Chains A and B, each alone.
Chain A
Amino acid sequence: MPTIRQLKRRIQSVKNTAKITNALQMVAASKMRRAQDRASQAKPYAEKLRTVLAGLASQSGGEGEAALHPLLETRPVRNIAVLHITPDRGLCGGLNSNINRSGGTFVAMQHEPVQVVAVGKKGRDFFHRAHVHIAAEFTDLGDYPTQAETSGISRLIIDDYLNGTVDRVYVSFSEFVTTATQRPVTRQLLPIEPPAMEGDGEAFLSDYIFEPSPEVVLARLLPRYIEMQIYEAVLQNAASFQSAQMVAMKNATDNANEITRELTLTYNKTRQEQITKELLDIVGGAAALEG
């Protein structure tokens, strides 16, 4: 049975922990709102780009036909790159282990040699420990990554693909579903698989006047599309991190409060018992004197 003094000390220490987790929860909640906001601000651009690309790429017939652009061309796969996007920090529940497990399993399943491009310290450290070749790393993107910061990543990926260092590129990141749910996903980035066209591709092409030409527009569009996808993935990762951290810190605060409640109960009981014991002693002592 712990003494009153020990109990008191533990209660104080748990309360201090709760203060910290509560503060972290508040910070994460406000950052989360901004991160989610940024993710939704990127949507109109992304959707428009997708529609246009779907229309433009629909003219590139089926199998065997020469691809319209190197970024669309499927080559025999000799080397694979995985762009693994994770947060820089922890204290976010299972988010990091989930994304690392999903990315790690994916890499382990490949038959061809894989190189990892790590965004975020958590993923970099994970693959470093697993002795997977890390071709490049980008860390400290901050809570609100900008497009200027992610364009370096895109350039590296596109260059590696175009000069034949890698023949296929995947991206793995935590998709933001809701504040309570983040899902680790892995998607193919290159060669670009154009989104499916809603409606008639032929009609789309013949309806529009293209300046200078459909080919030029497509050639300008494709690198943008990659950049946008990477930027989106990085934003999703940031929103996921803040949400996961907020939820994790909320749970920690709730747990700490629960422990404080239990400890306080024990503390009061112990105190009560001690007082009763002391009273009995005094009463007993007085009785002995009178006797």
Chain B
Amino acid sequence: MPLTVEVVTAERVVRVEQGVDVLVAPGSEGQLAILPHHAALMTTLDAGELIIRRASQEDSFVVSGGFMEVNKDRVTILADASEAAEEIDIARAEAARARAEERLRRVREQNARDVDIARAAAALQRSLLRLRVANRRRQRPGPPRV
């Protein structure tokens, strides 16, 4: 029996997907794939990419931490924040990346003190993750439609 996957955040229900064959999630102990008939599991998630694969299509999401519950072929992802790949604003992510890189460059070259390095690094990581998820989708639009 295929999986039913629900991705929810405090603000909205991001996606409910039925008939899922495999789900790949960024677990805090490392990436993990969930197949049908998985044992009941409760795990924390790190920031990363969540992939939901079905026979005909593959959907990918950005997740910025949260929890995942697997129980009787029902997977519930309680994400701190999450977006589907097609919702990502590439221009914005690109701008965020440029901004974060610029800040870090100033620290490196001019020893700037007004920059919160941890914050800039986190922002850079976030933007890179979003770009990766968004671009992967663009390059691989899935199997050709018949």
Contact = CB atoms under 8 A, between A and B. Distances in A.
**A, B co-complexed:** yes
Nearest to B11: A147
A210 B43 contact: yes
Task: Give the size category of B's interface with A.
Answer: 20 to 34
A209 B41 contact: yes
Given A52-B69, A211-B28, A45 B78 contact: yes
9 contacts: A42-B10, A42-B12, A45-B10, A49-B78, A208-B41, A209-B40, A211-B41, A212-B28, A216-B28
Interface in A139-173: 146-147
B44 A220 contact: yes
A171 to B, nearest CB: 16
Contacts of B39: 209
Contacts of B48: none
Given A211-B27, A212-B29, A217 B44 contact: yes
A188 B68 CA distance: 27
Contacts of A2: none
B112 interface: no
A41 B76 CA distance: 15
Interface in B1-53: 6, 8-13, 27-29, 39-44
A38 B11 contact: yes
Contacts of A209: 39-42
A227 interface: yes
Interface in A1-48: 38, 41-42, 44-46, 48
Contact of A211 (B10, B13, B42): B42
Most chain A beta carbons < 10 A, residue from B6, B9, B11, B39: B11
Interface residues of A, number: 25
A218 to B, nearest CB: 10
- Top 5 closest pairs, chain A to chain B, by CB: A211-B43, A41-B12, A45-B8, A208-B42, A208-B40
Contacts of A231: 10
Given A44-B6, A211-B27, A216 B44 contact: yes
A231 B10 CA distance: 8
Nearest to B42: A208
A248 to B, nearest CB: 28
Residue from A42, A45, A48, A221 whose CB has the most chain B CB atoms within 10 Å: A45
A228 interface: yes
A167 B29 CA distance: 34
Contacts of B29: 211-212
Nearest to B81: A147
B67 A41 contact: no
A213 B68 CA distance: 13
A211 B9 contact: no
B41 A227 contact: no
Given A208-B40, A209-B40, A210-B43, A221 B67 contact: yes
Interface string A194-228: 00000000000001111110001100110010011
Given A147-B10, A208-B41, 13 more contacts: A41-B11, A41-B13, A42-B12, A45-B10, A45-B78, A48-B69, A48-B78, A147-B11, A210-B42, A210-B43, A216-B28, A217-B44, A227-B10
Nearest to B27: A211
Given A38-B11, A41-B13, A212 B76 contact: no
B10 A52 contact: no
A221 B10 CA distance: 13
A216 B81 CA distance: 20
Contacts of B44: 211-212, 216-217, 220
B15 to A, nearest CB: 12
Name the residue in B29, B40, B44, B71 with the highest tally of chain A Cβ atoms < 10 Å from its Cβ.
B44
B24 to A, nearest CB: 15
A9 to B, nearest CB: 50
Contact of A217 (B10, B40, B42): B42
A52 B27 CA distance: 17
B9 A45 contact: yes
Contacts of A227: 10
